[in-house]
Amino acid sequence: MSKIEKALNKARAAGGLRVVSSQLPHAEKEISTENLPAAVSTTALTEQRGSAVEAIARMKEKSLLDKHALAQYQIIYPGMEETRTVRAFRELRTKIIQKTQGRNCVIMVTSVVSGGGSTFVATNLGAAFSFDAGKTALLMDCNLNNPSLHRLFGDRNFRGLTEYMDNSGMDIAEIIHQVGIERLRVIPCGERREIAAEYFSSLKLKQLLVSITERYRERYIIIDAPPMSESADTQILAELCDYVLLVVPYGRVTDSQVNACAKAFSDKKLLGIIFNNEPEPPKLKWRSILNPFIALWDVLFHPVKNNPEHSK
Amino acid sequence: MNLHPEQLIRVISNEAFHNRKTVVTIFIVVYIAMVALGLAWPKVYTAYTSIVVEEKKVIQPLMQGAAVATDVADRARLAREVIYGRKIMDQILEYAGWMKNNLTPAEHDKIIKRITDKTIITNIGRDIIKIEYSDNDPERAFKTTQKFADLFISETLRAKSAESQSAYDFINKQTEAYHEKLTKAEEQLKDFRTANLDARPGSEADIALRLNQLQDRIQHATQDLKEAEVRKDSLEKQISGEAEVASTLSREGQFRSRIAELQSRLETLRLSYRDTYPDIVQLKHQIEDLNQAIAEDQQQRAAAKASGRVVLNEGMINNPLYQQLKQELSQTKVNIEMLNTRIAEAKRTLAQELELGKRVHGGEAELSELTRDYQVNRDIYQDLLRRRENARVSMNLDIDTQGLAIKIQEPARLPRQPSGLRFLHFIIGGLVLGIALPVGMLFTRAYLDPRIRVGEVISEKRKLPLLAVVPQLWTPSETQMLHREVEWLSLVMSGTFLVVALTAALRFMDVI
DSSP string, B163-227: HHHHHHHHHHHHHHHHHHHHHHHHHHHHHHHHH-SS--TTHHHHHHHHHHHHHHHHHHHHHHHHH
With CA atoms as reference, report the closest residue to A143 among A166, A126, A123, A169.
A123
| Domain count of the fold of chain B | 2
- Put simply, the answer to whether B476 touches A88 (Cβ < 8 Å) is no
- Put simply, the answer to whether A83 touches B476 (Cβ < 8 Å) is no
In a domain, B153, yes or no: no
Which helix (H) or strand (E) covers residue B54, if one does?
strand B45-55
Which residues is B133 bridged to in the sheet?
B47, B119
A97 backbone dihedrals φ, ψ, rounded to 5°: -65, -40
Q: What angle do CA B247, B248, B250 make, to 5 degrees?
A: 110
Q: Evaluate the CA torsion angle B342, B348, B354, B359 in order and state its sign.
A: negative
B57 backbone dihedrals φ, ψ, rounded to 5°: -70, -25
Which helix (H) or strand (E) covers residue B387, if one does?
helix B320-399
In a domain, B149, yes or no: no
Write the residue in A68, A84, A308 that is nearest to B471 by C-beta. A84
How far apart (Å, rounded) are the C-alpha atoms in residues B443 and B452?
Answer: 14
Q: How far is A49 from chain B (nearest CA, A)?
A: 28
Over its length of 512 residues, how does chain B's per-residue pLDDT go in tens digits? Answer: 678 889 999 999 999 999 999 999 999 999 999 999 999 988 888 999 998 887 555 445 555 555 555 554 567 787 888 888 888 888 888 887 777 667 788 888 888 898 899 899 988 877 888 999 988 888 888 988 988 888 888 888 887 788 888 888 999 999 999 999 999 988 888 888 887 776 666 677 888 898 899 999 999 999 999 999 999 999 888 888 776 666 555 677 888 888 999 999 889 988 888 888 888 998 899 999 999 999 988 888 888 878 766 555 555 667 788 888 888 889 999 999 999 999 999 999 899 888 888 877 777 778 888 888 888 989 999 999 998 888 888 888 777 766 567 888 889 898 888 887 888 899 999 999 999 999 999 999 998 999 999 999 898 888 899 999 999 999 988 998 998 899 999 999 999 999 999 999 998 888 87
- Put simply, the answer to whether B466 touches A275 (Cβ < 8 Å) is yes
- Put simply, the answer to whether A88 touches B469 (Cβ < 8 Å) is yes
How far apart (Å, rounded) are the C-alpha atoms in residues A306 and B482?
Answer: 12
Quick one: B483 exposed, middle or buried, by C-beta within 10 A (0-12, 13-18, 19+)?
buried
Within its chain, how far is the Cα of A19 from the centroid? 25
Q: Are the C-beta atoms of residues B85 and B139 closer than 8 Å to each other? A: no
Q: How far is A107 from chain B (nearest CA, A)?
A: 14
- Furthest CA-CA distance within chain B: 204
In a domain, B445, yes or no: yes
Q: Is the domain of B324 the same as that of B465?
A: no
Q: Are the C-beta atoms of residues B168 and B160 closer than 8 Å to each other? A: no
How far apart (Å, rounded) are the C-alpha atoms in residues B131 and B146?
Answer: 9
| Mean per-residue pLDDT, A181-196 | 85
Is A305 within 8 Å of chain B by CB? yes
- Find all residues with CB under 8 Å of B144, minimum gap 6, and list them: B47, B92, B95, B96, B115, B133, B135
Q: How confident is the model at residue A10 (pLDDT cuts 50, 70, 90)?
A: low
B496 contact residues in A (CB cutoff 8 A): none
| Cβ–Cβ pairs < 8 A, chains A and B | 157
A279 contact residues in B (CB cutoff 8 A): 14-15, 17-18, 471-472
| Helix, coil or strand: residue B118 | coil
Q: Are the C-beta atoms of residues B161 and B325 closer than 8 Å to each other? A: no
How far apart (Å, rounded) are the C-alpha atoms in residues B58 and B61?
Answer: 6
Q: How far is B478 from chain A (nearest CA, A)?
A: 8
Helices (H), B242-319: 251-272, 278-307
B23 contact residues in A (CB cutoff 8 A): none
Q: Is the domain of B241 the same as that of B329?
A: yes
Helices (H), B84-137: 86-95, 105-117
**pLDDT over threshold 90, residue A248:** yes
First to last CA, chain B: 48
Is B467 within 8 Å of chain A by CB? yes
| Mean per-residue pLDDT, A104-116 | 94
**pLDDT over threshold 70, residue A51:** no
**Taking CA atoms, what residue in B is nearest to A289?**
B487
Which helix (H) or strand (E) covers residue B385, if one does?
helix B320-399
pLDDT value for B159: 77
- Put simply, the answer to whether B465 touches A270 (Cβ < 8 Å) is yes
User: For A4-8, A70-74, A86-90, B287-291, which range has the lowest pLDDT when averaged over its residues?
Assistant: A4-8
In a domain, B62, yes or no: no
First to last CA, chain A: 23
pLDDT value for A91: 94
Q: Is the domain of B283 the same as that of B219?
A: yes
Is A279 within 8 Å of chain B by CB? yes
- Put simply, the answer to whether B487 touches A289 (Cβ < 8 Å) is yes
Write the residue in B457, B458, B488 that is nearest to A299 by C-beta. B488
Residues 57-96 of A with CB under 8 A from B: 68, 71-74, 76, 83-85, 88-89, 91-92, 95
Instruction: Please say which residue of B348, B367, B386 terminates a domain.
Output: B367
In a domain, B122, yes or no: no
Q: How confident is the model at residue A18 (pLDDT cuts 50, 70, 90)?
A: very low
Quick one: B407 exposed, middle or buried, by C-beta within 10 A (0-12, 13-18, 19+)?
exposed
Q: How far is A252 from chain B (nearest CA, A)?
A: 6
Q: Is the domain of B222 the same as that of B330?
A: yes
**Taking CA atoms, what residue in A is nearest to B483?**
A284
Q: Are the C-beta atoms of residues B160 and B53 closer than 8 Å to each other? A: no
In a domain, B411, yes or no: no
Q: Is the domain of B335 the same as that of B431?
A: no
How far apart (Å, rounded) are the C-alpha atoms in residues A9 and A67?
Answer: 14
Kindly give the interhelix angle for B5-18 and B20-40, rounded to the nearest 10 degrees.
90
Domain that holds residue B500: 1-41+421-512
Q: Is the domain of B297 the same as that of B219?
A: yes
- Put simply, the answer to whether A273 touches B472 (Cβ < 8 Å) is no
In a domain, B94, yes or no: no
Helices (H), chain A: 3-14, 42-57, 67-72, 84-100, 118-131, 161-166, 196-200, 203-215, 233-240, 255-263, 286-290, 292-301
- Put simply, the answer to whether B465 touches A271 (Cβ < 8 Å) is yes
- Put simply, the answer to whether B470 touches A276 (Cβ < 8 Å) is yes
In a domain, B126, yes or no: no
Q: Are the C-beta atoms of residues B504 and B40 closer than 8 Å to each other? A: no
Is A127 within 8 Å of chain B by CB? no
B494 contact residues in A (CB cutoff 8 A): 292, 295
User: What Cα–Cα distance (Å) separates residue A140 from each residue in A118, A146, A237, B143, B155?
Assistant: 12, 13, 12, 90, 98
Instruction: Please say which residue of B321, B350, B367 terminates a domain.
Output: B367
- Put simply, the answer to whether A307 touches B452 (Cβ < 8 Å) is no
Q: Is the domain of B362 the same as that of B440?
A: no
Torsion of the alpha carbons at B386, B387, B391 and B397, rounded to the nearest 10? 50
Q: Is the domain of B325 the same as that of B213?
A: yes
Q: Is the domain of B500 the same as that of B428?
A: yes
Is A278 within 8 Å of chain B by CB? yes
Complete domains list, chain A, with CATH: 64-276 (3.40.50.300)
Q: Are the C-beta atoms of residues A103 and A214 closer than 8 Å to each other? A: no
Which residues is B470 bridged to in the sheet?
A276
With CA atoms as reference, report the closest residue to A151 among A129, A109, A122, A108.
A122
Write the residue in B14, B477, B482 that is nearest to A278 by C-beta. B14
- Put simply, the answer to whether A255 touches B450 (Cβ < 8 Å) is yes
Quick one: B89 exposed, middle or buried, by C-beta within 10 A (0-12, 13-18, 19+)?
buried
Contacts by residues B255-261 (CB-CB < 8 Å, ≥ 24 positions apart): B255/B290, B255/B291, B255/B293, B255/B294, B255/B297, B256/B290, B256/B294, B258/B290, B259/B287, B259/B290, B259/B291, B259/B294
**pLDDT over threshold 90, residue A125:** yes
Q: Are the C-beta atoms of residues B12 and B461 closer than 8 Å to each other? A: no
- Put simply, the answer to whether A85 touches B470 (Cβ < 8 Å) is yes
Within its chain, how far is the Cα of B185 from the centroid? 31
What is the gyration radius of the CA atoms in chain B, in angstroms? 66
- Put simply, the answer to whether A71 touches B494 (Cβ < 8 Å) is no
Is B9 within 8 Å of chain A by CB? no
B148 backbone dihedrals φ, ψ, rounded to 5°: -55, -50
Q: How far is B475 from chain A (nearest CA, A)?
A: 5
Q: Are the C-beta atoms of residues A142 and A208 closer than 8 Å to each other? A: no
- Put simply, the answer to whether A277 touches B494 (Cβ < 8 Å) is no
- Put simply, the answer to whether A255 touches B461 (Cβ < 8 Å) is yes
A298 backbone dihedrals φ, ψ, rounded to 5°: -60, -50
- Furthest CA-CA distance within chain A: 71
Is A115 within 8 Å of chain B by CB? no
Is B448 within 8 Å of chain A by CB? no
What amino acid is encoded at A303 in this protein?
P
Is B475 within 8 Å of chain A by CB? yes
Q: Is the domain of B234 the same as that of B340?
A: yes
Q: How confident is the model at residue A152 (pLDDT cuts 50, 70, 90)?
A: confident
Q: Is the domain of B337 the same as that of B237?
A: yes
A92 backbone dihedrals φ, ψ, rounded to 5°: -60, -45
Q: How far is A138 from chain B (nearest CA, A)?
A: 21
- Find all residues with CB under 8 Å of B290, minimum gap 6, and list them: B255, B256, B258, B259, B262
Within its chain, how far is the Cα of B181 from the centroid? 30
Between B208 and A157, where is the model more confident?
B208
B482 contact residues in A (CB cutoff 8 A): 281-282, 284
Q: Are the C-beta atoms of residues A215 and A26 closer than 8 Å to each other? A: no
Q: Is the domain of B218 the same as that of B331?
A: yes
Contacts by residues B213-222 (CB-CB < 8 Å, ≥ 24 positions apart): B214/B346, B214/B349, B214/B350, B214/B353, B215/B350, B217/B342, B217/B346, B218/B343, B218/B346, B218/B347, B218/B350, B221/B339, B221/B342, B221/B343, B221/B346, B222/B343
Within its chain, how far is the Cα of B417 from the centroid? 59
- Put simply, the answer to whether A282 touches B482 (Cβ < 8 Å) is yes
